[in-house]
Amino acid sequence: MRAVAALGVLLWHAAIFLGPAGQSLGTKLFHAPSVIGVDLFFLICGFVIFLSSTKKVGGNTTIVSPITFLVKRLARICPLYMLCTIVIFVIERSAERQTGLLLLRSLSFLPVQNADYPNIFSPTMTVGWSINYEVYFYLLFSVALFCGLKFWKLLSIWAAAAILLPPLLAPELLSSLTLRSAIAAIVTSPLNLLFLAGIAIGMLYRCPAIRFPSPRLALLAVFIAPLPVLYQYLANAGIAHGLSGVGTSLAFLLTIVVIADKTLHIRCGRILGYLGDISYSIYLTHPIVMWGVMWANERYAWGSPLQGWFCVGVTVLATVAVSSLTYRFIEMGLSVQIRDWALAYRTRQPQDVPLLIPRKAS
């Protein structure tokens, strides 16, 4: 599913080779998959956050240390994001929007407001807007982990106070505040509910009692689950970010797939599995690859009736090739070294005792 999400975003951005945005066949084919891809990323992120922060050990549930959780997640995403951001800054340095201040804010994950799309920000590398949300939710979740297994209650209070109630109680004040402050916009954005939905799906997945009673029923559910998303794509209905758009259909799909996996032990194949592994690299490196393809297209004049599709194909293949390298040497290399160094340093410091929450007697 991560592979599908990454390729959806990649194809939407590569559709620039097929004609002006909003007018080309590429827009009709790939705009919806890009929205679906980002929302699916957020849902999967919430799902992974829950699974990686809690473990079943015998009759007890262990909660990872908040600092350990934060170190692991930031070490996972920061090195590649920062490298790609700097490369984009160098490539686009002559552009008016690319300033040193914008670069510093982007590297610090301080969102920069975009007046046209209040919940989608404009960092140095434009696709980095979603990373702002991810880092913000990591920070929020690490605070919630101090509550142990009651983290869900704190997150629920936050969701009500920051996201659900303000539009009802003070809509004009909220609108004014979010247009003036990018940080306020990210804190109050309904897109954060996708992370919460992913956590809820993770909790359902961990519950032993929630499973399909037979493989046949699980297989039937897996075939039915994509239909709402497919309908939205074909009918171009509700193609928007968040649970009010494609998020609810995707949450239903992800829930069915992960619950069915308990019974079916779904295997996606080596190619899709590998593309899923490198999906983060695909997401971040494809804008850089697109600059290279545009330069080559102008230099070598790839003229043909299929020029646009040829450029799309070259972009996809080159992005996968570059992502394979960044995945190996940065995600599985530099990021792992930084994580291990940070955790090793932490073990030399006084440690807090891991939270153990005994299972209540029935």
d(CA 192, CA 36): 15
pLDDT at 354: 46
pLDDT at 245: 94
Q: DSSP string of 219-271?
A: HHHHHHTTHHHHHHHHHT-S-SSSIIIIIHHHHHHHHHHHHHHHHH-----HH
pLDDT at 172: 85
pLDDT at 185: 87
- pLDDT tens, 167-203? 998 888 888 777 778 888 899 999 999 999 999 999 9
pLDDT at 179: 73
pLDDT at 151: 92
pLDDT confidence bin for 355, thresholds 50/70/90:
very low
272: left (phi over 0), alpha (psi -120 to 50) or beta: alpha
Residues 117-135: what's their mean pLDDT?
Answer: 85
Task: Identify the residue with better confidence: 360 or 233.
Answer: 233
d(CA 309, CA 315): 10
Task: Identify the residue with better confidence: 299 or 259.
Answer: 259
- pLDDT tens, 319-328? 999 999 999 9
pLDDT at 21: 66
pLDDT above 50: residue 8: yes
- pLDDT tens, 230-245? 999 999 999 999 999 9
Provide the 8-state DSSP code for 193. H
pLDDT at 121: 77
For a pLDDT cut of 70, what percent of the chain falls above it?
A: 91
Beta bridge pairs of residue 358: 60
Task: Identify the residue with better confidence: 267 or 220.
Answer: 220
**55 SS3 class:** strand
Task: Identify the residue with better confidence: 125 or 182.
Answer: 125
**17 SS3 class:** helix
User: Do 122 and 97 form a contact (C-beta atoms < 8 A)?
Assistant: yes
pLDDT confidence bin for 360, thresholds 50/70/90:
very low
82 backbone dihedrals φ, ψ, rounded to 5° = -65, -40
User: Do 229 and 250 form a contact (C-beta atoms < 8 A)?
Assistant: yes
Task: Identify the residue with better confidence: 94 or 226.
Answer: 226
User: Do 199 and 154 form a contact (C-beta atoms < 8 A)?
Assistant: no
- pLDDT tens, 66-81? 999 999 999 999 999 9
- pLDDT tens, 31-63? 999 999 999 999 999 999 999 998 877 667 788
Cα–Cα distances in Å, from 150 out to 59, 61, 63? Answer: 18, 12, 11
pLDDT above 70: residue 304: no
- Write down the H helix ranges in the chain: 2-14, 25-53, 66-91, 100-107, 129-144, 151-159, 166-169, 171-180, 182-188, 192-206, 215-224, 227-235, 248-264, 270-277, 279-300, 307-326, 335-347
Quick one: tokens of 323? 């992502």
The pTM of the full predicted model, rounded to 2 decimals, is 0.90
pLDDT at 262: 93
144, 147, 133, 34: which is closest to 77 by C-alpha? 133
For a pLDDT cut of 90, what percent of the chain falls above it?
A: 67
Give the Cβ contact number of residue 164 at 10 Å.
Answer: 14
**Residue partners of 130: CB distance under 8 A and separation at least 6:** 38, 41, 42
Give the Cβ contact number of residue 88 at 10 Å.
Answer: 24
pLDDT above 70: residue 300: yes
d(CA 10, CA 333): 24
- pLDDT tens, 191-200? 999 999 999 9
d(CA 144, CA 212): 31
Quick one: tokens of 111? 């969102």
